[in-house]
Structures are given as C-alpha cells and as structure tokens.
Structure 1
C-alpha cells in the first residue's frame, strides 16, 4: 500500500480527524491522543497493510509502522488540519491517569527532537574519535566549525524545548522562545560567571548556567501557558495581542530565574547524583537491571519518564550512565529476531524476522519486538536475559553516553568515551547470546516441523451470507477503507431485512457495544468482519439489538443481531454492509458469489487455501 492510501486508512480507522486531540510521531509509530477511544477500530488498523501493530499505553493510541512513519505522518498532515492546530486543542480536557498524562507530555516535547539529537550526537562522537586518532586538532578551524554544528543543539537546547513545549501546552511559541533566550542571554551568563550578587527588586536571584538545561524551560512554558490564557481571556481585544506578551515576559523571566530555574537545575542534579550513587554502589547490578527492564518499559511507554533524565545528564554533565545499558536491550532483541530467522521453518516468519533484525541493528526495535519476539514470547524472554548479561558488562566498565540518539550501529560513536571497549563487548554479548538462547530454547514455530503434505480438501471453504439482500462488489461501498480492500477481500450486501446471522461455525471475536459490527473466527481459522452500514457507529447502539457477546460460540445461521433497517434509511445512513475476510493473505483466492441476490445461509464467498498447509495464523 502506498503512503497516501495508508494515511487515509489510518485516519479513518482512528475515528476520523474530528476524533483526534493530538498527533505526534517517534521513530516508528504514530502517537494519537483520541477524544473517544470507542470510535477507533483497532482490528482494522492491525489488518492494514504497512501497520505492524497497535499499542495503547500512557493515554496514547499508538500505531506502529516502522521506518516509513515520517512519510505517513506528513501525508496525514497534508490531507488534514491535525498538524496545523488541532494538536494543541486544549478545549478537550485531558483524560487518563496522572502517569499517563506525564508520559504523553514528555513524549510530545522530546519526540520531535530525537532525530536531530541523534544526528548531532553521532557527529559529536565522530569528532571525538578523530581528535583521539590524531586526524583532527581542536585548534583547527575545520574542527571548530564541525563542533559548532554538533554542539549547537545541546547548547541552545532550551530554545528548542521552548518550541515543542509551547506546542504541547498550547502556548505562544514566540513568547516561549523569548523566555528561553533570556535564560541564555550573554549578559545573564556574564553576570553569573562574575559571581556578583544579583537581585530583582530586592529579591535574591541565584543565577545558574541554563545552556543545555532541560527542566527549567519546560516548567516555565507550562506556567506561562496558563498565564497567557488568563491574559487573553480578560484583556480587551484591542490591546491583548501586545499586552499579553508584555505581561508574560515581565512576569515569567524573573519568576523563572528566581524559582523555576534553580528548582529545575537542582532537581536535575539531584536525580543525576542519585543515579550515580546507584552505579557506585553496584555498577554491575545497576547495568543489568536497566538493560533487562528497558524493553519492557518501552512496551508500556514508561521509558519516557527516564528520557528527560538521560538528556539532562548529557546536557548538564556531558555524560550519562543509563543510556549505554539501554543499548544492550536493543541489541539483545535484535539478536533474538536473528535467532528466530535462523530457527523457523516458516518462510513468511523467516522473512519478517530477518527484515526486523536488520532494522533493529540501526536502533529501530519495534518491528522486531512487536512483529516477532513478543508474539512468540520465548525469544523476548531470551532477549531480556541476554540484555541483562550485556548490561552487567557495560555497568562494570563504567560506559557512558556523550550524546543522545537511538542506540544502534550508526550511533556507536556517541558512546566513545570512558568504558567504550566494555560497551562494545557488552552489546556484542547481548546480541550473540540472544541469538544462541533463542535458537537453543526455541519457540512455538507456526509451521509444522515435519515435511509439508498436500491438503486433501481443495474444494474451498464456504462462507455463508449473514444477510438477505442484493449482492454488490466491495468497490461499491462508500467507505474507502473497505472499498480499497485495505482490511481484506470480500463482498457487500445491500440488506432487505434487518437480521444478521453467523456466516460460519466459530467464535465471536468482536461484538461492538454499539451493535453495528461483528467479527467471527470460523473453526478453520477464517476471520470474518461484518460491518452493518457505513458510519453507523455514530448511532451509539440506537436501532441495533445485539444477540451475542464477545467470546461466544456460534453455529452457522445463529442470529448475531437485529437492526431497524427502515430507521437507518430514514436517518440517512448508507446500509451497504461489507463482509470482509480480514486474514485474506492466508488464502490463495477469495471467490465471491456471482448471484445478484442472496438469502441468509446461502453461500456468498468461497475461500481457496494454498495447496500446502502453512498454518501462519500466529505470525
């Protein structure tokens, strides 16, 4: 599927543009914050070509895509207004736990900077290698120019964070930038370096060095966003556009220098000291625990609570002890994917594991974790154990990160400092040990270990019509997600009677509370989706009477639901109903009936299996 179709399908499956409060992206996933989660069709998303999986964590609805996520993100921005203003829709109250909201805030602020941070970090590491090898001298102007390119992001980090924080908190980015600029203004820096006593109307000011800091500007912009909204609410329209910035600057710059600045710096230093004390107590244990838990934290999105600590350590102290241990986790899960590739006899899984492992080497582990190791379970555990072993070596060596960036082959230069040799040994042990453990321990391979035998029944599996009415090709459905075949192949019925029956013997895997859609998995493994009408989810169950619940066993012809067909038509709803085989890729062919009209329990689709039994349902 091309990027344009993919973006349209994803936007439709999350409930449309109006259902999105905010949208950001990281290296591999789109991170939606939705107004109404029930309007999102997770099953449809996971069956969309190009989507690896869907993860709900930290109050976010995360669509994992992989390396193409920036292109899909841009395309969503092109076809919608999400990237122009609705991302900061603060009229929508934040929902979810405090921890979930904090994760959302941190990820939204730091995610846009991760790419350029990685690039600058690699350049910084390469310069360090060049100077140690004698290829460049710090006195050369070439070095000075390249170092300025590498270090400017970290030096002016408060300015960059002011922009992303303003976007997240719904504040004016130019006011936020000006506040950040005041913190690193040359005269303020000179005043701090001089050691002279500083006061503001008699109030003592403890000046700090705010270049490369993280916490102070985020606190300042957060408070400023509320002050700005208060001013915009009560100041007259004729003067509020310049009086509001005046008040914000006059209040926030001194307040930040007096309160938020020292508080943020002391907090960051305190956290750094606490982490360092843990490593001093037992560097082996600290490295092992961080490496073992890191990928688990990433799955639940909790790692975003640690990211600011890592960045603050690098920005303020020039190095960080946590990040090297996380690299062991990355290389361990990559090794587990390689182990799966070597072990499996399933061609599709072998190809998936191989491509995911190659991606993982460069620091993008989501395809390996969500597409391979976590689904097979044992390889993921092998990866966690191997990460702990590598993390222990890294901790013992006192390895540090000198810059930020996703741990991977290309970002190895950012770890070029104390304990670099131990770092290389640690990630190598994680990678190799994970391959060996995965291969030795094994996993439930989706393919039989014995020689494949031809399937005796080649006549095809029948799927029976759940509705009575006129038969239509799927392309005539108005919803492009269904019509395009993105969710799978199938057929549509224009019903003449408001009764939906089971199309095969099986289990009800999906029964929407709104009664408008049902998923059935047949006894032979066919996954069938029946979606009654278009956009009928908006009725919130009105005119629908569901007769089954999720997990219930049904026989062909059992009534799934009844609905008021005339009422739907009167309210202007399109009642064309698609019947989709969502796991179409597991069949050689899907043949719809050539009849113009059908009754319930008449055969409507024939599924033709591959002439060889593959049992790929677990992939």
Structure 2
C-alpha cells in the first residue's frame, strides 16, 4: 500500500537519524522523519486519518491510517511544559483531512525556554511487514506541500492465533499482559521503593530513580513491551510506545496501597479558615452516627404508623393523668413487646449525646472509654426521672432575672440560667470532649505512672463535668435562645418565604461545601422544637428539585453524550446524592441549577404554609419520605398529624420535582451563542475602560454605538450556518455515544462472566467454568461496532470544519481590528483578550468537546472587582 504525506507546518525536513534524541534517531519508536517547524499551526499530514491519541500535555498526537499508527511529537522534553504552549484543535476519535488543524504550538516560547522544537513523525513498526519512505524532500518546505510517500505492507494475522482455543483456566485465572509487564518493569527498576515517582510522556515511562545500582537494565530490555532504555541523570526513561499509558496506570495501581499509606502519613500544609475547620470537625463527628439515627428513625416511623392505625398504644416517658390518650411506659398493663419496640426507636434519639461523645473522642483521638463515660454522665438517665419536659429530663433554673413576655416563647427564656441534661446539646458535648482531650494530654505530661490509672480519670471528671454543665451549657443556651428567636421570626414570614429561601439555597451551599452550616441550623431547630424542624425539609426537597432539573435537561438536550451522562446520574439522585448532578451538569450549564433553586424555593414555601416538618430520620432519597409519616420524635407537638405531614411532604416533593422539570425544560439552552459570548466579553472590557477613564456621557454613548456595530460582524447567515453545523455534530455524537454504550455493555457482560468463572475455578467446578467460557466467547459486538463506526465516520465527514475555522479566523481578525480602531481600551489588554475571544467564537466545538478552550491570559471579572475596590478605597481615603 502507498500513502502520501504532506508537510504539517512550514519548516525544514530532516532524516529521522538527524534527531538530537537517540530514542527517535535510533528508530526505537519506528521509522520516519522529522521537521523543524517555523510556523505555529500544525495541520493533518494525510488525505484522511483518525486521531487515535492525544497526550495530556497536548505536545504529542497519534494518527491512524489504513492500519498504520503514526506519532507526531512536537519538541524534545516539551512534556515538562504541562501543555502551556500548546492548544489542541481536535479530540480522540476525530477524522481529519489534509490541511485541517491538529494543534497549535507557540514555537517562539518553546525556543525561549531553550528546548528543541524538532518534531519527529514516526510510524509504529509493530504490525508492519515492510516499510519504505519514498522521495523524502529534505530541506525547506511549506505547509501542505507533498514531502514523501510511504510504501508498506502489513503483517498477516497468523491463522493459529486467530483460531487459538482459549482455556478456561487461562481466561479466569490469568492476569492481563499489562499487569504482567508492569510487575516485571517494577521489579527490574528496583521496586517501588527505588523511585520517587513514575510518570509518562507520549511514548516513555519515566522513573525518578533513587539508586541506579538497583536497576537491572538487561532484564528491563528483555521485557516484551520495552523498546529501549535511556538515562537522563537520575531519570530512567523506559521507551514503550503508545501503550505507555496502560503500563503506567497498571504500575500506579499496583503501588496504590503504598501510595495511600504514604499520603496518610504526609503533612497537610494548606491553610484552612477557622470556619471551614469547624464545619469539617462537625461533619466528621456527626457522619459516624448517621447510620444509627437512620436505623432508629425507621423504627420511629413504623411506631408512628402503628399508632395511627390504633394497633400500638401511644407510649410516654412521663406518668399520665387519668383519661390521657397516652400510656405511661411503666404501666403494668402495657405489653412488654410494645415497650421494647418503643425504646428501640426512642433510646438512641434521647441519649444521642453518648454517641456524639464517643464520635468526638474518636475525632479528637481521645480515650474512647473516657469519652463514653463523660457522655453517659452528661446525658445521665438519672436526670430524666419520669421524663420531665418533652421527655428529656428535668431542668433547674439556677438564676432568674425575671419573667419576660415578648410574644416570642424562645426569647422569653433568655432571662433565665437553666441547667438540664445535655443529650441534645451537641456543641456542649463536643466542647467538653475537646477540653477533656487537652486536659488528658496535659495530665499525662506530668502525672507519675503509678498514680495515672486512678487520678487521671478522676481529674478529668471533676474538672470537665462542672465546666460542661455550669459554663458551656449556659453560654450555649444563650446562643440557642437567640437563634431560636430568629428562626421563630423566619418561620413567621408571610407565605413561607423564609423557609423557601432556606430550602432554595441548600443545594447552592452543597456546591461550596457549606451545607453543614445549614444542617446545624436545622439540628438546633429540631432539638428546640421537640424533635421536629421546619428547616429539616430542605435537604430532601432541594434534592428532588435538582434531580428534576437534570431530567428536564435529559428530555430536551440534543447532545447524545450529555443525555447519556444525565441518565446515568438519575439513579444516584433518587438515592439523595446530588454532587455528581451538580458538578457534572447543573452547575456547568447554570440554568438547570437556577431552575432547581426556584422550584425548591416554591416547594419549601408551600410546605411551610401547610405546616410540614421534618421528624424521624429514615434515610436519604426515596426512603426519606417514611420519616415524615411520624410524630415529632422528642415529644413535641406538630401543627398537623403524622399522616397529613407525610402526605403534604409528598405533595411538596412533587411540586419541587415536577416544577424543576418544567422550568429546566423551559430555561435550558444547549450552549451560549457565539454572538452573546462576544457581547459579554466586549461589555466587560468596556466596563474596565469606564473604570479606568473618566468618559463623558457623550463619549460613553458614542463608544457604545460603535461596539454594537462590532457585534453586527456576526451576521444572521453566520448564525444559521453554525446551527446547521451544530445539527451535524449532534448527529455525529449520537453514533459515538452508541458505540461507547455498546462497548460498555460488552465489557460489563464479560466482566460479570469473569467473576463467575473465577468463583467456579475456586470451587473446582470445571464443568461450570467451561460453560461460562463458551458464554464469554459468544459475546462479540464487533460487527455492530464496525457498522456504527462506519456511520460515525460518514457523519463526521458531513461536518464542514473548514467553514467553521474560517468563520472563527475571519471574525476574530475583524473584531480585533474594530476594537483597535474604536480606541477605547488599553492595547495590551486587547492583545491579552485574544484567547477569550477565540473561545467565544469557538463556542460550538468547545461545548461539544471537539476543541479544548484556550488558556485565558486575563480574568476580566477580577480586574473589574479590583478596580471597584480601589475606587472605594480611594474615596474613603479622600473623605478621611
């Protein structure tokens, strides 16, 4: 076979033997040639080829054409530049024609860093029988000029390999070739202890070696996948070729455990704010007791249902007067079965403080037993007597500054210093355990060992317990009273607006990791109101809003990849997990996030008006509804019955879910248009100019009119052309998504059989293993995949990339010229704005992941904010 090769850039063509890097010069990675570029944009060198690989740092590209694998490697040691001088114009799987952009390289910058810009173009010889470069034009060439042709024949696949019978033991017991080769390489370089790190460039696996004497080069060179070994100081470069990724990943996988241990022993030097530390601490302590709360919550929900059905009596800790609807727990006529069920659901809630003490001791690395002992004392059952107020024990008013009547029942208590059991005083318990930890460490530093066993616990108890009850508790009660008073007024806001805002903002705080702050508000409200909270609905209702918004996107999007991604996230949403939804689609697309926030606000306000409160905890997602069919779990009295609470909760979720679907469908846009993005960028630039220059109103008006004319450079015909190409791209991506889904399906089916096969061999069940082997061999989607691949190629060919590239280049040049002519902004800033304008005009390809966005040189939003702050500061100085 013969193929023609065209110059990718302007430059000088040389023989591969002239390359300064002996890996290429000695043809370890295959035969070829090199070009020293003098222009920046590299274009496709074949009439038609497929992009098979792009290295992470965008300096090296693999192309596939008629069975040949070709590597274009721009520059020597440019992998260390982390992609900074490179800008990719294609993605893996793209089909490119001669003259179509592959990537852009800042040649001047690379030279300025004292690196060679030699660009080897080599052909992998692994599957080639014969290979000959004909009529190589050595010397100066222009981009697109024919520089040579390649005459080659491929190796014929050996019949014995094609018909080779796979053995069940080989399939189900063996390891992959990459796993085997990685183990051999790891051993030959002296093991994971002999290198600081392992990383790769496009073709080489690199190790930072500690001791060269431990590296066995002879064994290394004999390993099948290794094509050569090169030393660069203490860096060992193992030449592998395009399979280097898989080998490196397997090595890292094998080293994963050791790496994780090293990381866990490492020091974290990142500065974290006190507020963030407090939230992290609270989350770390509370997360350990969530399973207990959920398990007990489900039991409480069952109890509530049984009481509603008049199957189980309504049991109370407090002794009841005659004629009461409740039954005292020690009533002699009460069945012990109901008593056990009651305490199974209630005990963990009433004595939650003991679990918090244990979890806090765990978090602060304090003695667990002492932590539990402190928890038992602070939540002592002896304080409960017959239950006391709300079943949580008696309270003692030790100081009374007089009775208040403010109309706010929470605020009326601020004039009293009250001592109670600490079961629901989470932060008092956490504070006490932290104090105990610090006190424990101090005592250990000086107490004699002979006295430690007896006096260390004694000193901790005698110091910490009084401080917890008589210092921490009164301080916390003041905060709790003020907070409860504020929440009383928020809850009284008309039409449930206050709670609506709280619910609407919940998922926004999840994005920034601040939702624990709102959770604390909910917990305090829950404890203050007898085991129910108007704010506790937020986490659940807001989840359904974001899931609904996601489904809205899935329904209306024409992007097959986005649709597939969204469908895969729905299941997690139904289980109450929104992070993948938020970070994957709703936040990047923005409008779905807004739709979810609005729907959650409306649902939250409605549920507050209806009197819905969060009561028992019964799990996340779909399971959370069970807990709403419960009475308040700490003896509180709800505005509505348990059944009404549950039904109205479901109504609120339906409003949140359905409303978000509708709003998302209505608000969603596949991507921002080129014209809108350019307008936004120019508007920001104009804002900066106005802040820098005191334009008169006339000047501002004149510049504004001229800038509007700039936007007219993008005509209606341009927008129609872009929409037409967008439909073609969407059609192409449908086939790509189908191919990916089919590959995943095949892998899933085969992996399932592999697991069963390994189990069969482990149990010495040869018959079953052989049956599974036949089943594994029968799974083959090759023909279907090839059919889809052909359709994808045809769809790709229909996309007019040349027209899109011409649009971007022409419009960008015109816009830049116009902006310079208007002369309203700093010329340096205009130059720095070029990458952002390029991204704006390439919105179509960037949105569909056909092009990597250029790295921005300036942040316009930050510049605007900084200038505004400087103006404010200047005004303050002038006033003073």
With the shorter chain as reference, the TM-score category is 0.5 to 0.7
State how far apart, in whole Å, the 2-side matches of 1:110 and 1:328 are: 21
8 A contact 1:118–1:411 mirrored in 2: no
The 5 Å alignment of 1:25-44 reads none
State how far apart, in whole Å, the 2-side matches of 1:330 and 1:196 are: 41
Deviation at 1:95, TM superposition (A): 3.6
The count of aligned residue pairs is 389
Change (3 A) 1:123 1:363: farther
Corresponding residue number in structure 2 for 1:492: none
Change (3 A) 1:355 1:282: same
3-state SS of paired residue (2:622): coil
3-state SS of paired residue (2:420): coil
The 5 Å alignment of 1:488-527 reads none
State how far apart, in whole Å, the 2-side matches of 1:209 and 1:336 are: 44
Corresponding residue number in structure 2 for 1:259: 471
- Match for residue 414 of structure 1 among 627, 630, 645: 627
Change (3 A) 1:406 1:272: farther
Corresponding residue number in structure 2 for 1:311: 523
Change (3 A) 1:330 1:237: same
3-state SS of paired residue (2:421): coil
**2:477 paired with 1:301:** no
State how far apart, in whole Å, the 1-side matches of 2:469 and 2:258 are: 37
- Match for residue 172 of structure 1 among 367, 378, 398: 367
Change (3 A) 1:407 1:392: farther
**2:640 paired with 1:427:** no
- Match for residue 391 of structure 1 among 586, 590, 604: 604
Change (3 A) 1:398 1:224: same
CA RMSD after TM alignment: 4.1
Corresponding residue number in structure 2 for 1:276: 488
State how far apart, in whole Å, the 1-side matches of 2:615 and 2:259 are: 37
State how far apart, in whole Å, the 1-side matches of 2:394 and 2:548 are: 53
State how far apart, in whole Å, the 1-side matches of 2:354 and 2:258 are: 24
8 A contact 1:313–1:319 mirrored in 2: yes
Corresponding residue number in structure 2 for 1:376: 589
The 5 Å alignment of 1:597-616 reads 615=849
8 A contact 2:545–2:596 mirrored in 1: yes
**2:344 paired with 1:149:** yes
- Match for residue 334 of structure 1 among 518, 535, 547: 547
Deviation at 1:102, TM superposition (A): 1.4
State how far apart, in whole Å, the 2-side matches of 1:197 and 1:275 are: 24
Deviation at 1:291, TM superposition (A): 1.5
3-state SS of paired residue (1:434): helix
Q: Please give the per-residue CA displacement for 1:121-151, whole angstroms capped at 9, x wherever unaligned.
A: 2332232123213344445544433332222
- Match for residue 276 of structure 2 among 89, 100, 103: 100
Which consecutive residues of structure 1, in runs of 5 or more, have no partner in the other structure?
Answer: 6-15, 17-47, 50-74, 456-522, 524-549, 554-612
The 5 Å alignment of 1:81-160 reads 95-138=271-314, 141-160=336-355
3-state SS of paired residue (1:306): helix
Corresponding residue number in structure 2 for 1:232: 444
Deviation at 1:296, TM superposition (A): 0.8
8 A contact 1:335–1:357 mirrored in 2: no
Deviation at 1:77, TM superposition (A): 12
Deviation at 1:220, TM superposition (A): 0.9
State how far apart, in whole Å, the 1-side matches of 2:500 and 2:396 are: 46
Q: Please give the per-residue CA displacement for 1:409-458, whole angstroms capped at 9, x wherever unaligned.
A: 11112223534433222211110111111112223269944475669xxx
State how far apart, in whole Å, the 2-side matches of 1:337 and 1:159 are: 40
8 A contact 2:540–2:624 mirrored in 1: no
8 A contact 2:301–2:618 mirrored in 1: no
Deviation at 1:179, TM superposition (A): 1.2
For normalisation by structure 2, the TM-score amounts to 0.40
State how far apart, in whole Å, the 2-side matches of 1:165 and 1:81 are: 26
State how far apart, in whole Å, the 2-side matches of 1:453 and 1:194 are: 71
Corresponding residue number in structure 2 for 1:213: 425
8 A contact 2:380–2:421 mirrored in 1: no
3-state SS of paired residue (1:256): helix
8 A contact 2:383–2:394 mirrored in 1: no
Change (3 A) 1:454 1:211: closer
- Match for residue 244 of structure 1 among 451, 456, 463: 456
Deviation at 1:239, TM superposition (A): 3.5
Deviation at 1:76, TM superposition (A): 7.5
3-state SS of paired residue (1:381): helix
Higher relative contact order, chain-length normalized (CA < 8 Å, sep 6+): 1
Deviation at 1:333, TM superposition (A): 0.1
- Match for residue 344 of structure 1 among 543, 553, 557: 557
- Decide which moves more: 237-246 or 336-345: 237-246
Change (3 A) 1:101 1:379: same
The 5 Å alignment of 1:451-466 reads none
Deviation at 1:321, TM superposition (A): 0.9
Normalized per residue, which structure has more helix? 2
8 A contact 1:314–1:403 mirrored in 2: no
Deviation at 1:282, TM superposition (A): 3.0
8 A contact 2:397–2:419 mirrored in 1: no
Corresponding residue number in structure 1 for 2:781: none
Corresponding residue number in structure 2 for 1:287: 499
State how far apart, in whole Å, the 1-side matches of 2:497 and 2:338 are: 39
8 A contact 1:206–1:258 mirrored in 2: no
State how far apart, in whole Å, the 2-side matches of 1:451 and 1:236 are: 77
3-state SS of paired residue (1:400): coil
Q: Please give the per-residue CA displacement for 1:159-203, whole angstroms capped at 9, x wherever unaligned.
A: 11112212222322222211111122233444986778999xxxx
8 A contact 2:285–2:359 mirrored in 1: yes
Change (3 A) 1:130 1:345: farther
Deviation at 1:368, TM superposition (A): 1.5
8 A contact 1:115–1:405 mirrored in 2: no
For normalisation by structure 1, the TM-score amounts to 0.55
3-state SS of paired residue (1:207): strand
Deviation at 1:372, TM superposition (A): 1.9
The 5 Å alignment of 1:512-591 reads none
Change (3 A) 1:284 1:82: same
State how far apart, in whole Å, the 1-side matches of 2:851 and 2:302 are: 45
Change (3 A) 1:343 1:158: same
State how far apart, in whole Å, the 1-side matches of 2:258 and 2:305 are: 40
8 A contact 1:94–1:101 mirrored in 2: no
**2:653 paired with 1:440:** no
State how far apart, in whole Å, the 2-side matches of 1:410 and 1:395 are: 21
- Match for residue 366 of structure 1 among 557, 573, 579: 579
State how far apart, in whole Å, the 1-side matches of 2:290 and 2:495 are: 27
